[in-house]
């Protein structure tokens, strides 16, 4: 998930999009959050992504209820440049003597909130009903809603312990069993990460607290900045400078390498799940392109969203990863492990460098066709071993280049090296690294330990390098 902090206000929108071919039995949930800036609303409207990103998570079916809804809007000024609007839904029982059994059950076991002035109730979808000022767990005062998703809501809270000035992000999970169980699994992963890396040296978000609040699993985190995707979007998809690509990529490789050494596969790496610690920026005028561009001041990052992270010994679901960053072995149902994360990292490096997604598609066969157009033919052995025989004919991708989809792939995809914006050595080294990460065969794909020793990272500044204990295995 993405927990976003602005200097003068907050505005976060959570999005959960179902992707095709999802295994309904998977208990993990992927929570896609997308943030929007108060200062760049018009830019966001004018720069819409061609393809909407998919998220892999269990399907949710809304239930009906006789509870009525009133909506209030809270406005908070932000430096005079924008206003934050947070809609809070308050549910009140209908004026009727007839109440459903479910509602009676919920009401019978709920008292007052810790602040003592609001009944603890859920809405018809299982979200906790609250208002600013409510105190959870005798410690966290709710300030405002940051975002909402299928899994629940994220709120900004004030930690009343110590000086009471600390602001945190609190993820409040729905009072629904499948989401509670998924949250327990995520908490288990976060606790493992914290135990093995208490100081957060390996750049994974740190679990600060977790508790069960009347059936709602709650997870507390530090407030962070924009995701690298949201910053990119608010900057009109202007790609990051190469030196910033280098530093972000280095940190990403370091964080995911640590997960792999801890017997974990993240399974949902994407730009939305990489957050800047602080996304403050400077505005620079580009004379050559005659436009203002945002340059983030510090490129320190944290990797977030471990809702679908999987230990080596756990059940591996058939389909994982958000579509655009999904490895070929996942699409072909050949089984997956840590190398599928490396493929995702390669796609992310490309996106940071170019400003757009490498594989912009929602269809499996078209996705494979794009891979072949960009990276060359899929290995015959992988095609023959795949359970997806309908995609192939005699070991070759069954793809009609004369169809409308075929023309789209031909017109919008080209061999990987033709995307280079310069022939300089730095650019050559980056694309050599990306090619090694986008190796079809997961057994031949570069590991992140090897990637960190790649010449592309030799030009990192001394202060950008992070000294960590490589002995992360227990």
Q: Whose CA is closest to 65, among 124, 150, 125?
A: 124
Q: What angle do CA 63, 65, 68 make, to 5 degrees?
A: 135
Q: What is the token pair recorded at 346?
A: 């390669």
Alpha-carbon distances, residue 276 vs 4, 11, 297 (angstroms) = 9, 16, 10
State how far the Cα of 469 lies from the Cα of 449, in Å rounded to an integer.
Answer: 13
State how far the Cα of 140 lies from the Cα of 163, in Å rounded to an integer.
Answer: 13
> Residue 197 catalytic?
no
Residue 149, strand partner residues: 152
Q: Tokens 């998220």: give the residue.
A: 55
171 is in an annotated binding site: yes
Q: Which of 122, 134, 159, 268 is catalytic?
A: 268
Q: What is the token pair recorded at 307?
A: 């809702």
State how far the Cα of 359 lies from the Cα of 352, in Å rounded to an integer.
Answer: 14
State how far the Cα of 119 lies from the Cα of 26, in Å rounded to an integer.
Answer: 34
Other CB atoms within a 10 A radius of the CB of residue 193 amount to 25
DSSP 168-193: EEEEEE-S-HHHHHHHHHHHHHHHHH
Other CB atoms within a 10 A radius of the CB of residue 298 amount to 14
Decide: 75 and 88 in contact? Cβ < 8 Å.
no
Q: Which residues are annotated as a binding site for ATP?
A: 171
* Residues classed as catalytic: 268
Known binding residues? 171
């Amino acid at each position: 998930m993405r927990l976003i902090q602005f200097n003068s206000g907050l505005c976060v929108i959570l999005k959960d999009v179902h992707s095709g071919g999802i295994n309904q039995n998977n208990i993990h949930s992927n929570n896609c959050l997308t943030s929007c800036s108060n200062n760049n609303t018009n830019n966001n409207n004018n720069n819409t992504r061609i393809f909407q990103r998919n998220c892999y998570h269990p399907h949710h079916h809304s239930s009906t209820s006789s509870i009525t809804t009133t909506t209030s809007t809270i406005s908070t000024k932000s430096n005079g440049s924008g206003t934050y609007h947070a809609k809070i839904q308050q549910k009140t029982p209908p004026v009727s003597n007839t109440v459903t059994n479910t509602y009676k059950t919920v009401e019978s076991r709920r008292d007052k909130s810790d602040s003592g002035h609001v009944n603890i109730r859920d809405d018809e979808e299982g979200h906790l009903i609250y208002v600013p000022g409510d105190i959870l767990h005798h410690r966290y005062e709710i300030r405002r809603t940051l975002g909402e998703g299928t899994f629940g809501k994220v709120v900004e809270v004030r930690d009343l312990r110590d000086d009471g000035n600390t602001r945190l992000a609190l993820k409040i999970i729905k009072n629904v069993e499948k989401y509670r169980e998924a949250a327990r699994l995520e908490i288990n992963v976060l606790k493992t990460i914290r135990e093995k890396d208490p100081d957060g040296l390996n750049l994974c978000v740190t679990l600060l607290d977790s508790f069960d609040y009347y059936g709602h699993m709650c997870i507390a985190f530090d407030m962070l900045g924009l995701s690298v995707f949201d910053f990119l979007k608010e900057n009109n998809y202007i790609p990051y400078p190469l030196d910033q690509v280098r530093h972000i990529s280095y940190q990403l490789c370091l964080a995911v390498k640590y997960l792999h050494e801890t017997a974990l596969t993240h399974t949902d790496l994407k730009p939305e799940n990489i957050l800047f610690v602080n996304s403050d920026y400077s505005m620079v005028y580009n004379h050559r392109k005659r436009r203002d561009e945002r340059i983030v001041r510090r490129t320190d990052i944290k990797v977030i969203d471990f809702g679908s992270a999987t230990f080596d010994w756990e059940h591996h679901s058939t389909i994982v990863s958000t579509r655009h960053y999904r490895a070929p072995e996942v699409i072909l149902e050949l089984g997956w492990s840590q190398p599928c994360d490396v493929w995702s990292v390669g796609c992310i490096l490309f996106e940071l460098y170019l400003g757009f997604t490498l594989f912009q598609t929602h269809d499996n066969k078209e996705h494979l066709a794009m891979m072949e157009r960009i990276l060359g033919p899929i290995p015959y052995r992988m095609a023959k071993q795949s359970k997806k025989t309908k995609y192939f004919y005699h070991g070759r991708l069954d793809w009609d280049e004369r169809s409308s989809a075929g023309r789209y792939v031909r017109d919008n995809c080209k061999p990987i090296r033709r995307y280079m914006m310069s022939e300089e050595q730095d650019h050559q080294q980056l694309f050599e690294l990306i090619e090694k990460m986008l190796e079809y065969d997961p057994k031949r794909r570069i590991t992140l330990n090897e990637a960190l020793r790649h010449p592309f990272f030799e030009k990192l500044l001394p202060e950008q390098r992070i000294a960590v204990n490589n002995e992360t295995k227990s």
